[in-house]
Amino acid sequence: MARHAQSRARTRLSRRSKAVSGLALSTLVGTALWAWPASGDDHNSGTDAKSTMSTTASGPDTPRTPASAPKTAPNAAPNAPAGRPIPGLSDAARKRIPADSRQVLVVTGKDMDSFQSRVVLYTREDDSDDWEPGPTWAAHNAAHGWTDDHRYGDLRSPIGVYPLTDAGGLLPAPEGTKLPYDHNSSFVADGTGVEGEPLAGAFDYVIAINYNREPGTSPLDQQRPWGAAKGGGVWLHVDHDGPTQGCISLKPKVMRELLRTLDPDLHPVIVMGPADY
């Protein structure tokens, strides 16, 4: 949900006070130009987004239902202390991380209303409860910050814990990509962002965040299980040097690294929200 724009003819909008300029997707089956709503919650141009997807993605997303607490290591002694947890998360957020997940991408916003955030990928071994951090990356989130009740067009990123099962982009998948990847010419960002920055290249690489979407489909898929009012099209995508409409944006090098690292067999999830969520 980056600055997914409307048409090129749309007048540039002012910073953070209005929805952004538009974004058009050029479809594979026609030459029509599709205009995006100001909120940018949705990305699909009507292309058959499922046609190039693998069917190996994991099951339905239930981010608002707490998952079981992580299992202790099989050989842990009775009453042994818990493993090293992911720092900076509330107990409630930790409990929503699925027990079988071994990759957790933590996105921490500067505060509730900030569009600046940092991202760390935590991993753990199969027989361990110790979470090991990777490098820290700078990122952008939505222009108005965060919300635990995301609505279409509110310019806030949804707080929560969501699986990462599907990817795609305008460019071919980087060598070593493990997530199902939809290489599709409909991943085109057009127009300008909330601060007037160009959006070109923002969808070169995307990873769908399973907020109000059907897992196992292209990020372009328009199914909204919780209804259109709850928005959708929340992605990790290439940073365009400005706030998004709800997505998380990272530099191209980081997106390529994530695509090579995230592994469906390790059940990756994203934990996203303001500090101490």
- Which residues in the chain show pLDDT less than 70? 1-82
pLDDT, residue 200, reads: 95
Strand partners, 137: 119
Output the pTM of the full model: 0.74
Asked if residue 246 lies in contact with residue 231, where contact means CB atoms within 8 angstroms, the answer is yes
DSSP label at residue 230: G
Q: Name which of 250, 67, 96, 243 is nearest 159 in CA terms.
A: 96
Tens-place pLDDT, residues 120-150:
999 999 999 999 999 999 999 999 999 999 9
Instruction: List the structure tokens of 124.
Output: 């753990």
Tens-place pLDDT, residues 15-42:
333 333 333 333 333 333 222 332 335 5
Domain boundaries, the chain: 101-266
pLDDT, residue 190, reads: 86
CB 52: neighbour CB atoms within 10 A? Answer: 14
Please report, for residues 68, 168, 267, the alpha-carbon distance to residue 178 in angstroms, rounded to integers and kept in the order given. 26, 11, 12
Amino acid at 71: K
Q: Name which of 190, 203, 266, 245 is nearest 2 in CA terms.
A: 245
Please report, for residues 17, 36, 74, 154, 250, the alpha-carbon distance to residue 14 in angstroms, rounded to integers and kept in the order given. 6, 17, 56, 15, 23
C-alpha to C-alpha distance for 262 and 176, rounded to whole angstroms: 10
Tens-place pLDDT, residues 146-168:
999 999 999 999 999 999 999 99
10 Å CB burial of residue 190 (0-12, 13-18, 19+) is buried
